[in-house]
A and B are shown apart, each in its own frame.
Chain A
Amino acid sequence: MDSHDELKLLTRRHFFQQSGLGIGSAALASLLNDSLFAETAGLHHPAKAKSVIFLFMAGAPSQLDLFDYKPKLNQFDGQPISEDIVKGERFAFIKGTPRLLGTPHSFRKFGQSGAELSNLVPHLSTIVDDVTFIKSMNTTQFNHAPAQIFMNTGHQIPGRPSMGSWLSYGIGTENKDLPAFVVLLSGKSQPDGGKSCWSSGFLPSVHQGVEFRRQGDPVLFLSNPEGVSAESRRRSLDLIGDLNRAHEADTGDPEIATRISSYELAYRMQSSVPELADITKEPAQIHEMYGTEPGKSSFANNCLLARRLVERGVRFVQLYHRGWDTHGSSGNEDIVNKLGSLCRETDRASAALVQDLKQRGLLDQTIVVWGGEFGRTPMNEARSGSKFLGRDHHPRAFTMWMAGGGFKPGVTYGTTDELGYNVATDPVSVYDLHATILNQMGIDHTRLTYRFQGRDFRLTDVHGEVVKRIV
């Protein structure tokens, strides 16, 4: 262990002490012994995966037009749905008795696994044999902000730590020059849930997701002020370090050593982050594969960045692409035009990411997760008589997919009923998803806890079962 490692341990041990809050014994062990995670020892059991890349499709993609083909829905297109089904249901926008809406897109089976996909995701259809589809996802929330916060933190009200923060807290990072949890945004704006989606909640803020920005510095305040060269900065850090060390000798406070180490880490980030964010040196065939254009802010660029981040040992990378809220209340948010355009923005790069990780031998140790905060209704929303085709929010059933990290490839898990309204078999809750992802990371979700306000909190609260049949 070099002196930096020692400092870091000191730092981490110290801030946990500083925090004055309890931590789980296993998490503590991780602090005291980083080498535990050098390979795949895991926190509670051997880990299958080291990193997660969560492609969060904020706004909620329509599972019925991409993944979950329902011939009956097409057959009954335009018919009012049975009153029995929707009686007492709360919808975000649908009023009265809505009409069923068949998909305007065509479906076909792909690969050896025979996964059925729509024509909107041609690239995904080339990698279906590496993918695990869960068609029986369900959530408790039917509005965007609470549902996104729930999907990330296991609770619909802001204030709890997100999955990335729990992982950072539980198993730390493998690259001391980069944050453990990085967030990349593309699409219309930040997600509806705001920065709470990657908040560390009641965990120390060192675990919060660090947003790589679309404009200016990739990390806020990474660059020196104008006119301050790296050389000048080095000299000022030496000055700060010397004076801090002298003061440490005087006061005896180990917190000062921690501070010195943070400043040195900041300095290293000033070169490691720009190097990481620079995708221009990637070979042409990689750009072709992802559809990346250096210098542009796009989902494709973020996918490539995500690969570069996990290659460098970042624990949790989360991409947000907002815009999937296809209600059909205007021509710019329908399931025909807009959904197609969103797929063009995301399909190729999502598939390329999986393929690229695979060809580098990284897919086995990286979990790629694709999905949004809920699904969309089998009925046409027709808000205020709109004639654009669109679907309302639907928490009862939706599809997500995973690849790598020990998830069984080429498997489709769970089914919905013939209209796609309810889960028919093998329901998977958000808690189950969290439990399963943590499981693959070597963590028992019931044992990664943090004491706050008198009780032990965990990502899965008091719920969650590992979905054993897909791992």
Chain B
Amino acid sequence: MTRIVAAVGLALGLAQFAAAVDFDKDVQPVLARSCFSCHSATLASAGLQLDNRGSALRVITPGNSADSRLIQRVEAADSSKRMPLGGRPLEPAQIAILRKWIDEGALWPEGGPKKHWAYVKPVRPALPPGDSINPIDRFVLARLEEEGLKPSPEASKETLIRRVTLDLTGLPPTLPEIDAFLADQRPDAYEHVVDRLLASPHFGERWARPWLDLARYADTNGYEKDERRSIWKYRDWVINALNKDMPYDEFTVEQIAGDMLPNATIDQKIATGFNRNTMFNEEGGVDRDEEFWLDLVDRVGTTSTVWLGTTLGCAQCHNHKFDPFSQKEFYQFMAFFNNGEKTAVDYGDTSQKWVEPKLDLPTAEQQTARKKLQDEIKAVEQKIKTADLDREQAEWERSIRNAASAWKTLTPQTLSAKSGTVLTAQKDGSILASGANPADEALTFEAEPGATITALRLEALPDPSLPRGGPGRDIYGNCYISDIEIEGAHVKQAISDNGSVKLREKGEQLWSVDASRDDERLPRQLVLIPEKSLDGAIRIIIREKSEFGGQGIGRFRLTYTTTADPKAIVGVSAKLRPVLLKDRRTPDERKDLADFYRNRAGSLHADRDQLKDLRKQLDNLGIASTLVLQESASYSRPSTPIRLRGQFLSKGDAVYAAVPAALNPLPESELPNRLGLARWIASKDNPLTARVEVNRIWEQYFGRGIVETSEDFGTQGERPTHPELLDWLAVEFMDKGWSMKAIDRLIVTSAAYKQDSRVTPELLEKDPYNRLLARGPRFRMEAEMIRDAALAASGLLSPKVGGPSVFPPQPDGVWDLPYNDDSWKESQGEDKYRRALYTFLRRTAPYPSMLTFDGTSRESCTVRRIRTDTPLQALTALNDPAFFAAAQALAKRVAVEGNDQARVVYAFRLCTGRKPKPVELDRLLASLERERTYFSQHQSEAAKVASDANLAGWTMLSNALLNLDETITKE
């Protein structure tokens, strides 16, 4: 047995095999799955085509399976002979089907195998006979009857309202809502609840979640730097569209090609964000064309998966092995997306990237304010750029020239090195280091200048004896000084003429001289200004402790000054100093010096401040923007080259945009462009679009789709459990104007949906996954729902819909990104407690509790989340501060109600939607009593949990209630 699911499918279907084997239903899938990749018209390995009767008869003897080579080869014990060669052997059940079929005469349908069911346009099947009003139930009951099963009774009202409220809004019902429903004796009380929920603004939030998984919506670009992007307007567009029940065909067209609609509205443009949710690798070395091409690959794969339930991506490298899609068709499909606007943008790291359009979305006030600020900025910039500074600059140059004369050499009385560096005094008062070049050195320098010193200066000087001419001693001629201590004095300021100075931070370098980019080696200076003037003898310790070691200073000089303005000497950069000291300058040098001065001119100080302030104001306007597609204004048919073997570097012939031939043709009325593609997908003639979407809707309610592999309707996907029902729903969907809410309503008002979910051991044995629907759905809620339900039970949940993504509490250290110091700044106020779908989603480091409960990183399209059950989930729900805060709030919330018993009932209902049974109540009350007693004896623990022992006891009880299986399960 290879696959549990297949085995179960067979178990369920065995009844049918008493009758004759049906080629299309039973045989063809086996051949397609295991044989066609080599033995079909495409490859015809060994000349054998099992999709062609004439050819197949070479290995099949009708009426005699034992004599058929097909059977001999699939059953071969020797794996070098066994078919499929190198592949997974056929299961006994599959071989049994083939044998039976051959023994029955190997009947082959006329005209060869039928087209795969999913590629044939659905027609509305007749309803099976029965009394059920809801057509869904006719189909479900007919199938149950076939299997000799009976449906379950309707679930209790408490269960029902919780189930349907979770399904339609993603939130548990409030107690007044439950009570009102329990009290409502009208026969259509339930339908009233359904209508209320369908109209709730939270409906769109709940249903946006699966759609955003499909759309791979996230708040960052992904990959290495994983910078932020702004595209939440697209998320809100989805919520709004679902809330207003935008017909699915419009919903489709706007997301694929909203920008190309006549007089496209802002909203229609925002909708194209669907395909801008592709990742964007901003790493320095990426090939911009390849990066953009990968976006196109993703758009083809995602679009075909989401709307067509088709794995077109399999045809990127070669013709699809199983489904009727060629490699050429993959690239023809890609061509639809290859005609958008994009701009080559320079990145500072010598690379360029293709950047697609961004839509600015200012409000009217923002627009006015922005215009005003931009004008002001322009004016100030102009002033700074053009102010006449000649006289001022001349004055400044003079002051720097003069400054040098205010410094005198500090002649050392003693000179020593802790770790063996040899220091030799030079004639010009400088000191040259040689000999050992240790990783940890301290140079001590004693002198008595006999003056009142206002500042000391360390000059790092080039010297031909040093590597690359110095001034440092590492192989590049650089040096790193970790600390300079003037004994007994506190240095209040340290300024250098080559940037980078860090003052007395433990373990940080104080001053580094990076001379490695200089063609000509230059002297550099560091001025140290003590808090108080220095008198008498001084002792200076230069420490050189670097990460890499061997990076001591090579030649240096210490000087001192008594001037009141010691900073003047470093008023120009080391590079421009020689220019400044020159009398004759080249035009370039003049410009460099003038530019340098303009940036620091005292007379422009106020203007520079103003400019900074204006720019800040502009930033603070908080104008929203979003990523969109914008088709190029060109009249040529979109095209793209085939990439051989799917490799970007192997460019083949160009192909024009076209839809796959196996499906409906592009309507004559449509142009072969992205809008044409969108309308072709959203057409009633498309055999897949409606089926795929109703199946996904069904999956949300029942935990599995009618086609279990909701991402793959091809020959390799699972066959529908209720094919007629699927087609009926698909046609109904289209006939009801593609109304998603109409399908929702139909499903949740069906008896199938409303069944009790209790299961007997016999039924569990017969139908462990509830494929036949002899009971109601019961499964763990999705990540977002679990969090939202906990916040709702505790009363913390904010009902606010839409807006920029938020930052609820998250443990430190989750964001730990390369080349990106972005930090998680916790939201304040109600934004701490928004619904989970608003949580900022960083692709390389998603919100941990969501991932733990099977949420996705949204790096690529996810059709189905796989439900798991792990101890990490238990740890999260028990201990995550966000969940514990919900327990604390729940404890406070219930503390206002009557006596203990009433409070326990209240809390239990908030979590599970039902009243506890007496035995449960007793257990809870006993537990509460024990916790209270415990905390009253352990007051210091109690104080950390809540304000007193009583509330601490309630908190523990609430924490447990929020962790009940029932609380996190839809049943």
Contacts and interface: CB of A to CB of B under 8 A. Distances in A.
Interface in A16-67: 16-25, 28
Given A194-B843, A235-B931, A454-B714, A263 B871 contact: yes
Interface string B374-409: 000000000000000000000000000000000000
Contact of B879 (A225, A250, A389, A455): A225
Contacts of B137: none
Interface stretch (B635-643, B682-690, B756-764): B756-764
B226 A239 contact: no
B224 A220 contact: no
A401 to B, nearest CB: 25
Nearest to A185: B816
B548 A227 contact: no
Given A24-B2, A158-B859, A240-B963, A192 B866 contact: no
Interface in A167-201: 179, 185, 188-196, 199
Nearest to A387: B516
B517 A393 contact: no
A95 B285 CA distance: 11
Contact of B851 (A205, A340, A383): A205
A266 B854 contact: no
Given A205-B870, A215-B813, A240-B964, A25 B1 contact: yes
Contacts of B965: 244, 247-248, 255-256, 259-260
Contacts of B255: none
A367 B305 CA distance: 39
A72 interface: no
A216 interface: yes
B769 interface: yes
B944 A226 contact: yes
Interface string B860-873: 10001011111111
A93 B283 CA distance: 11
Contacts of B960: 236, 239-240, 243
B3 A192 contact: no
B354 interface: no
B870 A262 contact: yes
A337 interface: yes
Interface string A133-171: 000000000111110000000000111000000000000
Contacts of B764: 252, 254
A19 B866 contact: yes
Interface in A373-411: 383-389, 392-393
A242 B222 CA distance: 44
A338 interface: yes
B927 A235 contact: yes
B761 A384 contact: no
B744 interface: no
Contacts of A331: 474, 476, 478, 512, 514, 516
Contact of B817 (A190, A210, A256, A262): A190
Contact of B294 (A92, A157, A192): A157
A243 B923 contact: yes
Contact of A229 (B1, B876, B941): B941
B709 A226 contact: no
A269 B4 contact: no
Nearest to A224: B879
Contacts of B971: 251, 253
A288 interface: no
B62 interface: no
Contacts of A19: 866-868
A443 interface: no
B759 to A, nearest CB: 4
Interface residues on B, range: 35 or more
Contacts of B931: 232, 235
B223 A252 contact: no
A206 B851 CA distance: 10
Contacts of A222: 875, 879
B287 interface: yes
Interface in A260-298: 260, 262-263, 265-266, 269-270
Nearest to A59: B818
A12 B812 CA distance: 32
B868 A205 contact: yes
A158 B860 contact: yes
Nearest to B941: A227
B328 to A, nearest CB: 20
Contacts of B876: 220-221
Nearest to B844: A194
Given A222-B875, A251-B778, A206 B859 contact: no
Given A145-B224, A190-B817, A251-B778, A28 B857 contact: no
A29 B222 CA distance: 37
A119 interface: no
Contacts of A269: 871, 875
Interface string A209-235: 010011110011111111111011101
B528 to A, nearest CB: 23
B844 A196 contact: yes
B927 A453 contact: no
B846 interface: yes
Nearest to A25: B2
B934 interface: yes
Given A145-B281, A240-B963, A331-B478, A227 B927 contact: no
Contacts of A451: 3, 716
Given A331-B478, A388-B516, A262 B941 contact: no
A189 B759 contact: no
A347 B844 CA distance: 29
A451 B711 CA distance: 12
A386 B852 CA distance: 45
A205 B920 CA distance: 33
Given A191-B818, A269-B875, A158 B757 contact: no
A188 B818 contact: yes
A90 interface: yes
A15 B283 contact: no
B548 A252 contact: no
Interface in B258-300: 279, 281, 283-287, 294, 298
A449 interface: yes
B758 A250 contact: yes
Interface string B929-947: 0110010001011111100
Nearest to B8: A17
Contacts of B501: none
Contacts of A252: 758-761, 764
B890 to A, nearest CB: 14
B429 interface: no
B934 A232 contact: yes
Most chain A CB neighbours (cut-off 10 Å) among B222, B864, B878: B878
Given A92-B284, A145-B283, A454 B717 contact: yes
Contacts of B322: 454-455
Interface in B529-567: 547-548, 551
Contacts of A118: none
Nearest to A22: B3
Interface in B868-904: 868-876, 878-881, 884
B704 interface: yes
A20 B474 contact: no
A246 interface: yes
Nearest to A336: B475
A294 B876 CA distance: 27
18 contacts: A22-B4, A23-B4, A25-B1, A195-B846, A196-B859, A203-B866, A204-B868, A205-B852, A224-B879, A227-B943, A266-B871, A336-B474, A387-B468, A449-B88, A451-B716, A453-B313, A453-B709, A455-B314
Given A11-B869, A20-B864, A454-B709, 11 more contacts: A20-B866, A22-B4, A159-B859, A190-B817, A194-B226, A225-B945, A239-B957, A247-B966, A336-B474, A453-B305, A453-B712
8 tightest A-B CB contacts, nearest first: A92-B285, A194-B844, A227-B944, A454-B716, A337-B548, A266-B874, A22-B3, A266-B871
